Chain A
C-alpha cells in the first residue's frame, strides 16, 4: 500500500506537491520540538531535591525569532496552497459538462448526449470534465481520492468541480458528506476510458458488452445488484436496511400502505423498480428513486432472476 492513492488527474500531482511541502515542514518542526523536549527532560532530570535552578523568565530575541520564522513559513504555505486551489476551482473553457445528482444513496450522471448512468461515471482520458452538481434531498459530497477532488452537493443550488483524468482505469468515488443510513454504501466508480473506447461507449455499446451478454441471468442480476446501487438499501441476508430484503422476496405476499394486498411476482417487482412509489409496502418510507431509463429490460429481468435464487 502506498501512502497516497495513485495520482490519476492533472490536479492530483499539484495537490500532492502541497501535501509534500507541508509534510516536510511539519516533520521538521515536530522533530525539532520533540528532540529538544526529550533532551531537556533527560538532561535536566531532577537528581536531588535541593538542586539550584536559574531564574530565567524569557528572551525577547527568541520570542521574535519563533514568531517571525513560523509566520513567514505559514504565509508562504498559504500562498502555495492558494495558487493550487485557484487552479482547482477554474475549469478550462473546453471542459465537457456532466451533470451529477446525489440522492440518498445513489449517484446519477447525465451526459451531454442524453445518456444517463447510475453510480458509474464514464470519462475520457486527457479530456477536461466539469461536473455540474446538485442534490435531490440532503447534502452529499463528490469525492474521488485518486483525482484529489471533492465538492459538496447542495439541494437547491448548483455546485461544480473539474478535473482532467490522466490515467485509464477504474477509480473509487465516495460520498464524503454524511447523508443518513446508507451513507457508507453511497459508493460509485469513475471509469476512465481511452478516446477510442469512449467513442464506442458513447455510441451505446457497453464496454464489457461481450462479457455481460454471456452471463447467465441470475449472475448478471447479481452484478447489476452490486453495481447499480441496489445493495445500498436491499440486503440479501434477510435484514432490513432501508427497503425490504431481497431474500425470500419472490412470491412473498403482504399488505400495501393503502391496505390492499400484493404478491411479489415478476410484474410487481418490475413495477417497484420503475415506479417505486406507486405500490408501497406497509412500514417502508417512499425514498426509492425510479430506475426508469437507468436499467434496461434485460437488466430488470436479470435482477428478478437473481431475486428468485435468494430463498
Chain B
C-alpha cells in the first residue's frame, strides 16, 4: 500500500470530493461501504413495503386485495430481495467495509480495486434480477424444484442474477480475510482484535466456502431449464430432494453470514455504553468460529419432512442442537458485561439490548425446530416464519440499526436527533413483537406458511399480526426520516462522542481519506474500560 497522503498533514475528510464519478469509481473502503449501505437500505425498504402489502392481503381469510398468484409473487419478491440483496451482503459488506480497516489500523482493505469490483458485481446481479422481474417468479425465494423447473416465470434470469451476486460475496470475503491477516497495525494481535473483526473473519470464511455451492446449484438449475438436462426434475430423471440438499448446504451457512456480523456489532456497542470490558472475550471470539464451523453441518434440518432418511435426520438434529451452545454462550457473556457497569441507554444501546431480547426468543424457538418430533408438526408453518424473523429482524436487522445509530457520527460526521431515534426504536420493537409473536401461536395451531388464503379459525391472530406490521412500518419510516434529516441538518459530530477506546474513534469524524495520519501502534486490547484493581480477574 502506498502511503502517499502522509506528505501533506492537512485533514481531508473522505466525504470531501463530490460528483457521481467520485463515488462510482472510488476505491476508498469507506465510500464503498456507503455504496453498499445505500443500496442494501433501499432494497430493505422496498422489500419491507412488499411485506406490508402481503400482510394487508392477509388481514382477512379470503383473497380480496390481490389474487393468489400475485400474493405468491409478492412473497417470492420479498424473500429473494431481503435475502440476496439486503441481508446476505448486509452488515458484512457495508459496515465490514467501513470498519475493518479502521478497527485494525489499516489505510484500506488489501485489494481496494477488487473491492470496488465486488460492488459492481453486486450491482450487476441486482440489475439482472430486476430485469427478470418484468416477468415475476412465484417460486418462493428457495426456488424448490420441480416447481421452479416447470413454472412459466423467468427463473433462469433470476437465478443467474443470484449466481452473479454470489461472486460479489466470495470476493468480498476473500478480500476481508487477507486484510485481517495481513494489514493489522503493529501490536494489533489476534487477541486484541475488536470482536466485530472476529465476527467479520468468521463470516468471510463462510462467504468464501459456502457461496460457490449455491452458485453451482443455480447453474445446474439453469442447465436443467435451458438444456433439458435432468438434475432435479423427476420428469427428466432428476431428484428434487438433491436440489434441497445443495440449496441448504449454502443457505444454512448463509443464515450465519447474516447473523454473525450482527453479533459482532452487539459485542462492540455493549462495552462502550456500559463502560466495562467485554465479558468473556475469548469465549465470544471463538464461539463465532465455532458457529461458522458447525453451520456447515446442519443444512438438512430444513428437510426433516422432505423424505430424507431417518438416520440422516437424527444426525442433523443432533448437530443442530450443537449450534445452540456457542450461541447461548454469547448471550450469557453480553448480559454479564452489563454487571456493575455504567449503562447509558443510547439508541444504539437500546437496539443492542433489543437484539439480546429478540434473539433469545429466536434462538430458543430454533430449539423447537431442531427437535425432531416437534419439527414434524411445526415445519412449514407460521412458527418457522416467526422464528426466522425473530432471528433475521430481531437479530440481524436490530444489529444493523444499532450499527447505523452507533457509527453514524463517525461515518458521516453528523449527529441525528436522539429522542426521535429512541421513539422509532420503541415503535419498531413493539411493532415487531406484535407482528411476529402471534405467528408462533398460528404455527402451533397448524397454519401453513405461503398461504394466499387461509381458514377462518386463524383470522384474529392473522389480523393482529397485520396491525403490528403497520406499527413496525411506521417505526422504520420515522427512523429513516430521522437518519436522512441528520445528514443535512444534524449537528457536527465530535471525534469520540461515547468515549470508545476502539481505533476508529481516535481519528476525526468523518475519517480522513487515508484513515490514520500514521499507522497506529497498538499496546492494549480494545476493551480496557473500567478501573483496574490490584488483582486482575
Contacts and interface: CB of A to CB of B under 8 A. Distances in A.
B4 interface: no
A152 B374 CA distance: 16
Interface in A155-196: 155-157, 159, 172, 174-185, 187
A39 to B, nearest CB: 9
A26 B331 contact: no
Contacts of B67: 239, 241
Nearest to B280: A58
Contacts of A58: 279-283, 333, 537
A29 interface: yes
Interface string B443-455: 0111011111111
A154 B371 contact: no
B338 A41 contact: yes
B150 A154 contact: no
Interface stretch (B12-20, B255-263, B376-384, B511-519): B376-384
Interface stretch (B111-119, B221-229, B342-350): B342-350
Interface stretch (A114-122, A134-142, A271-279, A302-310): A134-142
A57 B536 contact: yes
A44 B343 contact: yes
B144 A82 contact: no
B190 interface: no
B480 interface: no
A207 interface: no
Interface size band for B: 35 or more
Contacts of B530: 52-56
Given A40-B341, A70-B324, A74-B321, A63 B381 contact: no
Contact of A15 (B69, B340, B376, B446): B376
B452 A183 contact: yes
B22 interface: no
A175 B365 CA distance: 23
A155 B307 CA distance: 11
Given A77-B371, A137-B146, A143-B448, A181 B72 contact: yes
Contacts of B466: none
Interface string B432-445: 00000000010011
Nearest to A2: B445
A53 B453 contact: no
A78 B318 contact: yes
B338 A179 contact: no
B219 to A, nearest CB: 22
B490 interface: no
Interface stretch (A85-93, A95-103, A251-259): A85-93
B338 A22 contact: no
Contact of B150 (A55, A138, A141): A138
Contacts of A146: 446
A81 interface: yes
A179 B308 CA distance: 19
A213 to B, nearest CB: 29
A145 B373 contact: no
B274 A54 contact: no
A245 interface: no
Nearest to B367: A22
Nearest to B536: A55
Given A5-B446, A74-B367, A139 B144 contact: yes
Nearest to A138: B147
A270 interface: no
The bracket for how many chain A residues form the interface is: 35 or more
B146 A138 contact: yes
Contacts of A41: 338, 343, 345, 353
Contacts of A148: 376-377
B108 interface: no
A71 B322 CA distance: 8
A272 B140 CA distance: 32
Contact of B380 (A29, A138, A141, A241): A141
Contacts of A143: 380, 446, 448
Given A58-B281, A78-B321, A66 B329 contact: yes
A154 B335 contact: no
A176 B279 contact: no
Given A172-B455, A176-B381, A45 B318 contact: no
Interface in A25-57: 25-26, 29-30, 33-34, 36-37, 40-41, 44-47, 51-57
Contacts of A174: 446, 448
B450 A178 contact: yes
Contact of A85 (B342, B373, B536): B373
Given A55-B536, A74-B325, A177-B380, A154 B453 contact: no
A112 interface: no
Interface in B339-394: 339-345, 353, 356-357, 360-361, 364-365, 367-368, 370-374, 376-377, 379-381
A151 interface: yes
Nearest to A86: B310
Contacts of A211: none
Given A18-B374, A53-B275, A143-B380, A155 B318 contact: no
B404 to A, nearest CB: 21
Contacts of A33: 331-332, 335, 356-357, 360
Contacts of A3: 441, 444-445
Nearest to A147: B377
A172 B381 CA distance: 14
B305 A141 contact: yes
B335 A37 contact: yes
B489 to A, nearest CB: 27
A223 interface: no
A155 B240 contact: yes
Contacts of B521: none
B533 A54 contact: yes
B454 A184 contact: yes
A18 B364 CA distance: 14
B277 A57 contact: yes
A184 B329 contact: no
A67 B460 CA distance: 40
B368 to A, nearest CB: 5
A17 B502 CA distance: 49
Contact of A139 (B68, B146, B453): B146
B49 interface: no
Given A55-B277, A57-B279, A75-B321, A145 B377 contact: yes
Interface of B: 67-69, 72, 138, 140, 144, 146-147, 150-151, 234-235, 239-241, 274-283, 305-307, 310, 313-314, 317-318, 321-322, 324-325, 328-329, 331-333, 335-336, 338-345, 353, 356-357, 360-361, 364-365, 367-368, 370-374, 376-377, 379-381, 441, 444-446, 448-455, 457, 460, 527-533, 536-537
18 contacts: A4-B445, A22-B368, A33-B356, A37-B356, A53-B340, A55-B529, A55-B530, A58-B281, A59-B336, A66-B332, A75-B321, A78-B370, A85-B372, A141-B380, A150-B305, A154-B306, A157-B307, A241-B68
Given A40-B335, A157-B307, 9 more contacts: A4-B445, A5-B445, A33-B360, A80-B371, A81-B373, A155-B240, A177-B380, A178-B449, A183-B452
The 6 closest A-B pairs by CB, nearest first: A145-B446, A156-B234, A81-B371, A85-B372, A84-B373, A184-B451
